[in-house]
Amino acid sequence: MSMYDAAFLNTELSKPTSIFGLRLWVVIGILLGSLIVIALFLLSLCLTSRRKNRKPRADFASAAVATPPISKEIKEIVPAATQPVPAEIQVDIGKIEHRVVFSDRVSSGESRGTASASETASFSGSGNVGPEVSHLGWGRWYTLRELEAATNGLCEENVIGEGGYGIVYRGVLTDGTKVAVKNLLNNRGQAEKEFKVEVEVIGRVRHKNLVRLLGYCVEGAYRMLVYDFVDNGNLEQWIHGDVGDVSPLTWDIRMNIILGMAKGLAYLHEGLEPKVVHRDIKSSNILLDRQWNAKVSDFGLAKLLGSESSYVTTRVMGTFGFSYVAPEYACTGMLNEKSDIYSFGILIMEIITGRNPVDYSRPQGEVHFNGIKPTNLVDWLKSMVGNRRSEEVVDPKIPEPPSSKALKRVLLVALRCVDPDANKRPKMGHIIHICLKLKTCSIAMNAEQLGTMEAAKSKRRRQRLQVVKAARAVHGIINSKS
């Protein structure tokens, strides 16, 4: 550039402009500085936005690491077991992406942490994720779409049960498997606690008198449990429903149902560690198959009791309005297996008498021994037994009433189960022993009755033969004279 050009450029840049009289080079500098500031501002906004987008993932990752794993695993009691037993079971569910996080204890030690990609299922609201194996040693995960298809959109026509914790629907999976789908009411504390207990406890428990849990669904706000379908209704329907003048539940069938219930509860109380307290034993929670085998269901209120604990204090739950709840549990909230035994005793009375635990619609002629009309089944039964009217308590729909001896033995078991002193109530194992004795006695008595009937038939046949022989002899004499 020549000296002339430089002088000309300097002259032009030094000329004042119309912008406040500023020189041209000053205006150009201001514009360039403004552009640089704007560019830096936009760059900072972009970086801030990216940092915010990454923050939830980082928070979730740290939360997943901090999430406590399953603290304990339910185990079946075996004689050689000497390992210390856990106090409770827990399944933690990440709430941001509804990711199930778990840790299992194995024989070589305890492995902790979150599930890997193959062991973790993140459920989206679209429901496009297919079911996967849960890797918990049992069951599977189901998608919401799959369960909605199985239950025809959770329609009312498929409702087979309803309670304070959820609604149970009948369903059929794509492979033709009949299932019962329990849709838990998601009321924060209760439903999530119920879900954790049912998934971990029922999922691992296997017994012929307990309803089997096949799997579960965690998607959005939904918490669903998928059970094996028992297709013959529940005990409440067969005792209090419209079955006609004669019930298909004979005395022997009812005794077999009581025995099956006792075996299922004994397994929960005495065959597992930590022991499981059901907390909601009632007739509608006893399902029946086509052979009238009893299956205890609905562990939504179940509580776990470690070997070192004699009871656990908890909020009173269960069917309180129908008088299944033990008095000490209702008053103090102190819960143990004796609370289940009280409810079991009420259930025995219900099976024997065909009456509801609390009934305000009984005839006016029924009075208590002190002149007060009883509405409580326990009080009424005690008054009937005390007045030596035990035979009158039997359900009139039973085809053939039991013997007086068998009836009194069962009533004795029921009354011992509802003893006001919880320490005096028998254990489930002892109840099974008594029920087996009753069953043996019933078989022996039936055999004796059958033998008596056969002897009577044989005697009648001999008498008929004697009459025929006498008639033939008389006929022969008449013919010889003629």
Q: Cite the active site residues.
A: 280
Closest residue by Cα to residue 302 from 328, 332, 264? 264
> What's the CA gap between 423 and 42, in Å, rounded?
76
> What's the CA gap between 438 and 440, in Å, rounded?
5
Annotated binding residue at 182? yes
- CB count in 10 Å sphere of residue 232: 14
> What's the CA gap between 277 and 265, in Å, rounded?
8
Q: Supply φ then ψ for residue 140, to 5 degrees.
A: -155, 165
> What's the CA gap between 102 and 141, in Å, rounded?
14
- CB count in 10 Å sphere of residue 29: 12
DSSP letter (8 states) at residue 134: -
> What's the CA gap between 472 and 414, in Å, rounded?
61
Q: Are strands 213-219 and 140-141 parallel, antiparallel or unpaired?
A: parallel
Closest residue by Cα to residue 418 from 343, 358, 359? 343
- What tokens appear for 412 in the block? 């004795």
What helix, strand, coil percent values describe the chain, rounded to 5? 45, 15, 40
165 burial class (0-12, 13-18, 19+ CB within 10 angstroms)? buried
Q: Contact 392/380 with Cβ under 8 angstroms?
A: no
Mark the binding-site residues for ATP, compressed into ranges: 182
Mark the binding-site residues, compressed into ranges: 182
